[in-house]
Amino acid sequence: MIKIDARGLNCPEPVIKTKKALEEENLVVALVDNETACKNLEKLGQKLNCSTEILELDDDFQITLSQIEEEVASSLTSAELEGGEDQNKVYFIRSDVLGNGEEELGELLIKGFIYTLTETAPLPKSIIFINEGVKLPTLNKEIKQNLKILEEAGVEILSCGTCLEYYNLEDKLKVGEVTNMYTIVERLNSNPVVTV
Amino acid sequence: MNVREYGLITFYSTHHALKAEKILKNAGVEVMMIPIPKEITANCGSGVKFNIKDLGRINSLIKRSNLRFWGCYRIEQYNRKKRIEKISLKM
């Protein structure tokens, strides 16, 4: 990563410096002190197929440009659009909290985790909820919202039928589908699995 | 283009963020706890995401709560781009 302090420089120096830095490194963070320079760097980023992130500080702008390699760029787009080859991971969620510890924190973390899945490419192929995990797609309002977003983006959402019945939550499932152990084992056997 | 805009308020501690979530939800404001984007902080913090239209209500509810907030942001999100602007809450 290269950091550039381009404050106080006149146009087009910030652009030239940033462009040079991008020839050496894929990730460049530039600091500029005016909106025009910020916009010019944003345009440079578009031209060079970079993802750009702009942080408006009190007086300055910080622009992060990360160049996406051709291969990654194409798989990102396809994953975003309709599930490319990289969309192959299965998330196996076995609890209604993330990790061991205080329940309040565990709930905060699992909510943040599912939210972040909606923001990150490539998307998973499937998310499977088992045991207490089935409380997430049935009882947790925010998680249900985010699972709907994932489902609309082509992610398969599966909840264990035995578990729904055991916890008496069959009527509450409003996102994804009920599944059985045969389908679950099939999914786990044929894809890379992330156990949560 | 699919542009999403939302507000995010962050606090000095996770405990304060959780308290703020409770206060705002009890007041009927629709909020969601989300991890703070890495452009704002590299720490693994959580912040309260809200609809920009609720900014005024959130401002007065947080002011009354005595919770110490750390920053407030307006975030615009395009496909692969995020624009983060710091906004001020009037305390």
List beta partners, residue B72.
B9, B87
Same domain assignment for residues A85 and A180: yes
Residue of B nearest to A42 (CA): B81
Which of B34, B76, B84 has the highest number of chain A CBs within 10 A, making it the mutation to test binding with A?
A: B34
Domain span holding position A118: 80-195
- Domains along chain B with CATH numbers: 4-87 (3.30.70)
Choose among A53, A80, A108: nearest Cβ to B39. Answer: A53
The 10 Å CB-count burial string (b at 16+, else e) for A154-186 is: ebbbbbbbebbeeeebeeebebbebbeeebbee
Q: Looking at chain B from residue 9 to 38, which residues have their Cβ under 8 Å from any Cβ of chain A?
A: 14, 18, 32-35
Same domain assignment for residues A61 and A100: no
Rounded average pLDDT over A27-43: 89
Contact yes or no for A56/B86 (Cβ under 8 A)? yes
Give the CATH number of the domain where residue A35 resides: 3.30.110.40
- Whether the ipTM is more than 0.85: the answer is no
Q: How far is A16 from chain B (nearest CA, A)?
A: 22
Query: In chain B, which residues have their Cβ closer than 8 Å to the Cβ of A65?
Result: none
Choose among A51, A57, A108: nearest Cβ to B46. Answer: A108
Residue A140: phi, psi to the nearest 5?
-95, 110
Domain assignment present for residue A41? The answer is yes
**In the 8-state DSSP scheme, what is residue B90?**
-
| Closest alpha carbon to A79 in A67, A87, A91 | A87
Q: In total, how many domains does chain A have?
A: 2
Residue of A nearest to B32 (CA): A142
Rounded average pLDDT over B26-36: 92
Query: In chain A, which residues have their Cβ closer than 8 Å to the Cβ of B33?
Result: 108, 111-112, 142
Lookup result for tokens 């283009």: B1
Residue A44, pLDDT score:
87
Query: In chain B, which residues have their Cβ closer than 8 Å to the Cβ of A64?
Result: 39
Domain assignment present for residue A37? The answer is yes
Give the CATH number of the domain where residue A162 resides: 3.40.1260.10
Contact yes or no for B90/B72 (Cβ under 8 A)? no
Residue A76, pLDDT score:
45
Rounded average pLDDT over B56-78: 89
Rounded to two decimals, the pTM is 0.66
Tell me how far CA of residue A133 lies from CA of A48, A96, A102, in angstroms: 43, 5, 17
Same domain assignment for residues A14 and A101: no
| Closest alpha carbon to A31 in A47, A46, A13, A43 | A13
Domain assignment present for residue A131? The answer is yes
Of the pLDDT bands very low, low, confident and very high (cuts 50, 70, 90), residue B90 is low
Q: What is the pLDDT of residues A39-66, one digit of tens each?
A: 888 888 888 888 888 888 888 899 998 8
Which of B2, B38, B81, B87 has the highest number of chain A CBs within 10 A, making it the mutation to test binding with A?
A: B81
Q: What is the pLDDT of residues A76-124, one digit of tens each?
A: 444 444 444 567 899 999 999 999 999 999 999 999 999 999 988 889 9
Choose among B33, B39, B84: nearest Cβ to A108. Answer: B33
Contact yes or no for A54/A38 (Cβ under 8 A)? yes
| Number of Cβ atoms within 10 Å of the Cβ of A44 | 22
Query: In chain B, which residues have their Cβ closer than 8 Å to the Cβ of A105?
Result: 14
Interface check A81 vs B, CB under 8 A = no
